[in-house]
Structure 1
Amino acid sequence: MLVHICCSVDSHFFLEKLQKDFPDEKLTGFFYDPNIHPYSEYQLRLLDVKRSCDKLGIELLEGEYDYENWLEAVRGLENEPEKGARCEVCFDKRFTTSAKKALELGEKKITTTLLVSPLKSQEQLKRVGDEFYKSHGVEFVAVDYRSGGGTQNQSRVTKEEQLYRQDYCGCIFGLTMQRDQQNKLMDEMFSPISGQMLPASIEERLYMYTKRNNLEDEGKVYKIIKQKFLNYRQFKCKLTSGKKDILEAYALSYSTLPRKKAQGRIEFSHNGVHYFNREEIKFITLQTYNDLSKSTYKSVKELIYNPLDFEKEQRLRAVVSGSDYDITPIIVVQDIPQAKLMLELDAKVYEDTKEKLIIFS
């Protein structure tokens, strides 16, 4: 039986049940999910599915990540709600590709771990499954592992196996609507030009779960916990001098400006920190930045495209500001300008939750 797999949270419990209920079937996993966006999230889910299948002794095949074709398939259905017409088209595309893979492998049956997801309609899945059975001749096995306490058991297995538990279905349209309803920043879509790994980002989780796999290979004991913290994302930083001359400027993380704009001049300096006469803004030169961080940046532009990692930058901020709780703008420039300045800074500090890896041995 070919098993279409969407994520480890659904697949691990689902595959365990299939192994028990279909002991004579050779199960082959097929990870085909071009709907998942961004690609880093796709990589993270695939990483965890591979680990899960390895644990269960199930072969896993990866389908093509043909995201552009998926977008074309759901064109015009972008605003459909979860479990609506977009989802049905998405199922149809994934089922058709899975059916072709089953035929290629000589399999007569297929099923999907989407059946166990509480975010999906089993009736909708069965309807699509029955349709492609008629057209492709591959039987769709519509098992129900949600009822009879199945959802609770799935949650238990997820916790015991320390699986990656994503908090959205996968597609950009579902994510957008979900974050709008939650009135929450869609920070999954942030990917800074600097390549800096942002806190609670998909890239940070991908790094952590890769490390988790390495710890298991080394036989080390670990635990994944969640912790609340204040997160930060920066949208824009622009510094203008005099008659609209744009200066290269870099705002340290957790720099915030309530009204997003401030005009004024450098008022005074102390111990290498230059104080603006508006909004408690501080300026430091690139040389000061290099001295404090023991780095060797030759230009602010280089710093913008290749900054320190987030934690090192936070330690530098604490040194400059004299506080671990400072969120005023700290701006790095090549040289301290004497002309009137306009700083435009759009950034947000917000409550968030992230995962942390605790290593016992």
Structure 2
Amino acid sequence: MLVHICCSVDSHFFMEKLQQEFPDEKLVGFFYDPNIHPYSEYRLRLLDVERSCKKLGIELIEGPYDFENWMDAVRGLEKEPEKGSRCEVCFDKRFEVSAHKALELGEKSMTTTLLVSPLKSQEQLKKSGDAFHASHGVEFIAFDYRKNGGTADQARVSKEQQLYRQDYCGCIYGLSMQRDQQHRLMDEMFSPLSRQILPASIEERLELYHLRNTLEESNTPYRIVKERFLNYRLMRSLLKAGDTIIPSYPLFYSTTNRTQTQGSIEFCIGEQHFLNRDEVRFITLDTFNTLTSSSYKNVKELMFNPISVGSEISLRARFTGSAFNTSAIIVVDEIPTAKITLLLETKTYDDTKEQLIISE
């Protein structure tokens, strides 16, 4: 039987149940989810599915990530709600490719782990599956593992197995509507040109789950726990000295009272130069290099190849003496002498992130 897989949270429990009820059935996992966006999220979910299938001893095949074709398929349905017409088209797209894969492998039946997701309509899934049974000759079997406490068992299994538990279906349209309803920043879509790993980002989770797999291979005990923290995203920044735009680099957690601030350097204490407005401070690249043991030639180089966020926060604490300081600290090649205009648009917000703790 070919089993279309959407994510490990659904698939691990679902395939465990299949193995228990059909011990003589050969299961082949097929990960085909071009709806998942951004691509880093796709990689993260695939990574977790690979680990899950390995634990269960199930062969896994990865389908193509034809995101552009999926976008064409759902064009015009961008505003549809969860479980609406867009989801039907999305199921049809994934079932069609899965059915062709089943035929290619000589499988006569298929199912999908989407059936166990409480966010999906089983009736929609059955409708799509039955349609492809009629047109392709591949029987779609709709297992209902939600009933009789199945959803609670699924949550228990996902915690016990320390699976990656995403909080959106995968598609960009569902994500944007969900974040709007939650009044939350859609920070999943932030991807700095500098490729710096941001806190609570998909890229940070990718690193964490890669580490988890490495620890498991070496039989090192660990736990994944969640923690609350103050998150931060830089939306845009620009610094002008007089009428000239000059390269600048705001340290993590740099904020101002207003988006645009104008002023001049009022005084200097040690390596810090203080603006006469909005608690803004400037440091030179030479100072930055010295205190971080770096060797950047200019601020432009720093902008596109920064140090880690953790190192920036440590440098901030060194200057301010406080882990809670959010004054703007701007790195420049040389301290400006002309009138300064600083544009700094940021978001700070309560958030949670995962942390991997190695047990002793």
Q: Compute the TM-score of the two structures, normalised by the length of structure 1.
A: 0.99
Mapped partners of 1:100, 1:354: distance in 2: 39
2:256/2:327 contact within 8 Å kept: yes
Q: Deviations over 1:19-50 (max 9, x none)?
A: 11122210000000000000000000000000
Mapped partners of 1:32, 1:166: distance in 2: 17
Partner of 1:332: 331
Instruction: Map 1:1-361; keep pairs closer than 5 Å.
Output: 1-242=1-242, 244-361=243-360
2:32/2:94 contact within 8 Å kept: yes
Secondary structure of the structure 1 residue equivalent to 2:47: helix
Secondary structure of the structure 1 residue equivalent to 2:267: strand
1:245 partner letter: T
Identity over the aligned pairs, expressed in percent? 66
Mapped partners of 2:299, 2:48: distance in 1: 39
1:115 partner letter: L
Secondary structure of the structure 1 residue equivalent to 2:193: coil
Deviation at 1:171, TM superposition (A): 0.3
RMSD (CA atoms): 0.6
2:231/2:349 contact within 8 Å kept: yes
Q: Deviations over 1:77-132 (max 9, x none)?
A: 00000000000000000000000000000000000000000000000000111111
Q: Compute the TM-score of the two structures, normalised by the length of structure 2.
A: 0.99
Mapped partners of 1:224, 1:57: distance in 2: 24
Deviation at 1:322, TM superposition (A): 2.2
Secondary structure of the structure 2 residue equivalent to 1:332: strand
Deviation at 1:342, TM superposition (A): 0.4
**Between Structure 1 and Structure 2, how many residues are aligned?**
360
Deviation at 1:294, TM superposition (A): 1.2
1:248 partner letter: P
Q: Deviations over 1:284-342 (max 9, x none)?
A: 01111111111111100000001110101110111122221110100011111111010
Deviation at 1:190, TM superposition (A): 0.5
Secondary structure of the structure 2 residue equivalent to 1:146: coil
2:25 partner letter: E
Deviation at 1:258, TM superposition (A): 2.4
Unaligned runs of 5+ in 2: none
Deviation at 1:237, TM superposition (A): 1.0
Moved more, 53-62 or 313-322: 313-322
Mapped partners of 1:35, 1:8: distance in 2: 16
1:253 partner letter: F
Secondary structure of the structure 1 residue equivalent to 2:129: helix
Q: Deviations over 1:38-89 (max 9, x none)?
A: 0000000000000000000000000000000000000000000000000000
Secondary structure of the structure 1 residue equivalent to 2:357: strand
Mapped partners of 1:139, 1:217: distance in 2: 38
Mapped partners of 1:337, 1:202: distance in 2: 37
Q: Deviations over 1:207-229 (max 9, x none)?
A: 00000000000001000000000
Q: Deviations over 1:2-23 (max 9, x none)?
A: 0000000000000001111122
Task: Find runs of 4+ consecutive structure 1 residues off by over 4 angstroms.
Answer: none
2:111/2:140 contact within 8 Å kept: yes
